A and B are shown apart, each in its own frame.
Chain A
Amino acid sequence: MTKYLIIGGGIAGTTAAERIRKLDPTGAITIIDLEQHRLYSRVLLAKYVEGQIEREKIFLKREQWYSEQNIELMSGVEVVSIDAKNQFVLTSEGRELPYEKLLITTGGEVKLLPEDLRGVSYLRTLDDADHLIKLIAELRTLPSDQQAAAIFGGGFISLEYINIFAHYNINTTILMRSLGFWSRVMSKSTQDILLSHAVARGMAVKFEERDLSLIGKNEIEGLELKDGSILPTRLLGVGIGLEMKTKIFLDAGLEVQNGLLVNSYLETNLPNIYAAGDIVEFHDVIAGRRLRAGNWMSAIMQARAVASTMTGKRTEFRLVSSYSASLLGMQIVFVGDTSREHADEVIQHIEGDDHATELFVRGGKLVGGIMVGDTRERQEITKAIQEGGML
């Protein structure tokens, strides 16, 4: 009976456990998870905060599912070290858990501000969402001229905050660290489409605010901006990216760069240790380079591939991944490898007042695409990338 140990009970870890169970009905499967909750959808957190779905509806597995599948879930437990030579991990409870196959799916953790006050919100976990719901309720008890929120950052989480605050009609200022949304990925003109859309819907925007000073004693009352002015703020949503906690992996002798390094089979440099999901920097056979793809679809498909490999059928991970976001009703889709830095050329394929498509080309082939406001070419772009051609 093979002992499978999975560190991380998010979508990658749980999908892998489910798939391993399917392929190996008798193996022992244990998931060790830092959070206190069974699997839920991070993608639904914003809808939950907006009150559009009940809390119970964001869970993707029923409580009994784990025992029905004969999968042990250890919640609220952290792995503090990995002994790759003797094949066991040490947990925060002081237990040594042996493994024959170890899968790491720990994901990323939110980058925090150096300071903290009540009223500062992050949006990564269900606990974060519960906290944000409380903060919004408190804010709404204030006189309406004091109901002011700010958002720090210009990426995916920033959009979630924008949609949430707009839903509650909260006066909101977006503080960009650069000159627009996804400034390292999108062209200026595409960023401007998103900016105009947000501004037309009542958002105030300030640019190149890199270091915020929080003002307030216990609760946030304002933010000191780079020009010395004070922006009254009672609620601050922070979305400045993820960082990978990799110390225990380095200590174990695993190779780490921007994430945990794996090959196209999601195997690490050490035997019997595999990784999937947001934590990995993998060799993408379609893009032809090593990259990170922290999104839902990659997490699921990597988990499925790695489960096959771990149960004896070595399977290469091959996917043109994509993800969608929405800014106040405007659709945004990223497909494939959308690194400007790694592209030979980025073609502004379509450019309208309220929609744009950018194509990322390398070595004469299409490797990625971004669509804003009009996603009709999504399948075509995905197919062209898959087939190594052009649009």
Chain B
Amino acid sequence: MKLTIKVDPDLCIGAASCVTIAPDTFELNNENKAEVLDHGQAPDGPQYERTVEVTEEEKEIMIMAAQSCPTLAILIFDESGHQLYPEV
């Protein structure tokens, strides 16, 4: 399945709990903000938003990482554009 992961750089404060939980999906940039990776890689350069092919297990880790964000700066959408986190 594909998920779209998006970081709001205005909300991100570099708490880095997402990087700790899902280091293959998030890394901090020079501005101390989390960027989104595709399985540890950054094809087409650094990005705050990416659509990534994931397994069920990887999806769970990404959601846990998003839940750990103290500023709710990480949004996750499924293929149909439905927002999985934060739940609306």
A-side residues, CB < 8 A to B, are: 11, 15, 18, 41-44, 47, 57, 60, 62, 296-297, 300-301, 319, 322-324, 326, 331, 333, 375-376, 378-379
Contact = CB atoms under 8 A, between A and B. Distances in A.
State the main secondary structure of chain B at its contact with A.
Answer: loop
Given A44-B71, A300-B68, A333-B32, A324 B20 contact: no
B14 A57 contact: no
> 10 closest Cβ contacts across the A-B interface?
A43-B70, A324-B14, A375-B32, A297-B17, A41-B70, A296-B70, A376-B30, A300-B68, A331-B32, A296-B15
B57 interface: no
A382 to B, nearest CB: 8
Nearest to B23: A379
Interface residues of B, number: 18
Nearest to A323: B15
A378 B32 contact: yes
Nearest to A319: B20
A379 B71 CA distance: 21
A377 to B, nearest CB: 10
Contacts of A322: 16
A159 to B, nearest CB: 12
Given A62-B87, A331-B32, A324 B13 contact: yes
A319 B21 CA distance: 11
A230 to B, nearest CB: 37
Nearest to A325: B13
A324 B13 CA distance: 7
B59 to A, nearest CB: 14
B15 A43 contact: yes
Contacts of B20: 297, 301, 319
Given A324-B14, A331-B14, A47 B71 contact: yes
Contacts of B14: 324, 331, 333, 375, 378
B54 interface: no
A323 B27 CA distance: 15
B72 interface: yes
A62 B30 CA distance: 33
A43 B32 contact: no
A324 B15 contact: yes
Contact of B30 (A47, A296, A319, A375): A375
A391 to B, nearest CB: 17
A80 B48 CA distance: 47
Given A43-B71, A378-B14, A378-B16, 7 more contacts: A41-B71, A322-B16, A324-B32, A333-B14, A375-B30, A376-B30, A379-B28
Contacts of A47: 71
B24 to A, nearest CB: 14
Contacts of A60: 67, 72
A322 B14 CA distance: 9
Nearest to A378: B28
A62 B88 CA distance: 9
B70 to A, nearest CB: 4
